[in-house]
Amino acid sequence: MPNSKDITIVGAGLVGALLATLLAQRGFAVTVYERRPDPRVAGYAGGRSINLALAERGLHGLRLAGMTDTIMELAVMMRGRMVHHRDGRTELLRYGRDDSEVIWSVSRGRLNIALIDEAAKAGARFVFDRRLAGAKFGDGAALRFEDEAGETHDIRVPFAIGADGAGSALRAAMNAESPLGERIEPLGHGYKELEIPSLTNMPESALVPDEASALSRGEVFAIEPHALHIWPRGNYMCIALPNAEGSFTVTLFLPGEGDPSFATIDSPAAARALFERDFADALPLIPDLDKDFAENPVGVLATLYLDHWHLGGNALLVGDAAHAIVPFHGQGMNCGFEDAVELADLFAADSGDAAAVFAEFERRRRPNAAAIAAMALENYVEMRDSVADPAFLLRRELGRVLAQRHPDRFMPRYSMVTFTRMPYAQALARGAAQEQLLRELTAGKTRVDEIDLEGADRAVQRRIEPLAS
């Protein structure tokens, strides 16, 4: 049975749909079961963030699927972080060296629909309105689905791949069969989405004179479109990512307890007072703050750790179902797309032994998923706090200088994660060695020109291994 070219995927989200595309393009007979209705017919029924940052790892998967042109048409380039200080000053911290090192904001719904379209074009079969309700394993997988009317549909398949997201039903069934070593660590902070409308949709009363004249010139973005905006405020922050049609999705991240937190900021009036105090330049841009705050739920954030991702050759987890992470490196989907590429390659090279494919997939991907989980947690502190910290900014500046002087050895960790496909675990280890060096070189200093760069050069040569070409 494991020799079968039939592959069953649960979940037609971002990772499930890309995996279906890559496998169908390689000649596998793929069937995907999805609990939601077909978004191509019913419209995309959101859930998580409205837009996401796409970086090199994700782009690579889309490239292999032949989808870059389609997706780039939907994407907005983000050159760096636009930091909004309390006093209203803004400052662009570039992500990379130039416009060849940028990230892209894409609509989750449009990306998901494009992926489903592509997978269907390649021959994958989608069965919508099928919620996995339970599974039993042993010489294959027996899956029970429920449709919206509550009717059950049972199937038996050689194996099932769970791409059903952080709350995976397949994972729950696998865990019941044989414990996977599941640990879910809540971040203790949540998020709420708000919106800066495009200038064309901004109520006239909310337009300031600059915006009114920008609109008359045909511009649609109320703030710089080619940046990921951040309002870092210590223990909490707001961010905003551009959408292709001119709006921005704003995400307010707050702790669950303390002040301010979602416990104290629990009404539109409290949110307005918080924005007046801490995000004063953003407030006039969010005309529907009260409504958005009242209607949009508080999203929870957590990291999922598992000791095992597969049950022999009967079932395997991929994407968020295996390794949901916090969103602060913008890598959850990017990492899941790497999963899809790796798994499709393994299936294509497979000798027919599903258990061996799943074990090899877990061996290759699990250390990397753990590394990006750790880096994503660290990045929350960097985004909400460090980007306003002079010592951090000095280390960052020196890091850029060293990267220019030693392009063969020194690369900022953000760049390794975002602009390369170096395994995450390697980026984590190299980043730790570089950070230690930067801390030593900047100790007691306030400016780069106070640092002995020739001594720094020698230290880089001695302590940082050459990058693989």
Residues 301, 255: Cα–Cα separation, whole Å: 10
Residues 151, 274: Cα–Cα separation, whole Å: 47
Which range, of 59-67, 280-288, 314-322, 434-442, touches ligand FAD by CB under 6 A? 314-322
Interface with ligand FAD, residue 169, by CB under 6 A: yes
Q: How many CB atoms lie within 10 A of CB 272?
A: 16
Residues 402, 398: Cα–Cα separation, whole Å: 6
Give the residue with the Cβ less far from ligand FAD, 49 or 247.
49
- Pairing type for strands 152-157 and 160-162 reads unpaired
The minimum distance between CB 328 and ligand FAD, in angstroms, equals: 9
Under rule CB under 6 A, which residues in 130-149 are in contact with ligand FAD?
131-132
Give the residue with the Cβ less far from ligand FAD, 260 or 330.
330
Interface with ligand FAD, residue 249, by CB under 6 A: no
Under rule CB under 6 A, which residues in 44-103 are in contact with ligand FAD?
48-49, 52-53
> With contact defined as beta carbons under 8 Å apart, do 54 and 106 qualify?
yes
Number of residues that bind ligand FAD (CB under 6 A): 33
Give the residue with the Cβ less far from ligand FAD, 132 or 215.
132
Helix (H) or strand (E) holding 429: helix 424-442
Helix (H) or strand (E) holding 425: helix 424-442
Q: Binder to ligand FAD among 107, 198, 314, 334 (CB under 6 A)? A: 334
Residues 136, 174: Cα–Cα separation, whole Å: 8
Which range, of 305-313, 327-335, 345-353, 426-434, touches ligand FAD by CB under 6 A? 327-335
Q: Binder to ligand FAD among 2, 34, 95, 250 (CB under 6 A)? A: 34
Taking each continuous run of H as one helix and of E as one strand, the counts in the chain are 16, 19
Q: How many CB atoms lie within 10 A of CB 205?
A: 6
> With contact defined as beta carbons under 8 Å apart, do 80 and 94 qualify?
yes
Q: Write each residue from 1 to 30 as x if it is in contact with ligand FAD (CB under 6 A), else as -, in one continuous string.
A: ---------xxxxxxx--------------
Interface with ligand FAD, residue 313, by CB under 6 A: no
Residues 90, 85: Cα–Cα separation, whole Å: 6
The minimum distance between CB 175 and ligand FAD, in angstroms, equals: 14
Q: Binder to ligand FAD among 327, 399, 412, 431 (CB under 6 A)? A: 327
**Phi, psi dihedrals of residue 287, rounded to the nearest 5°:** -65, -25
Q: What is the contact surface with ligand FAD in residues (CB under 6 A)?
A: 10-16, 33-36, 48-49, 52-53, 131-132, 163-165, 169, 191, 299, 319-321, 327, 330-334, 336
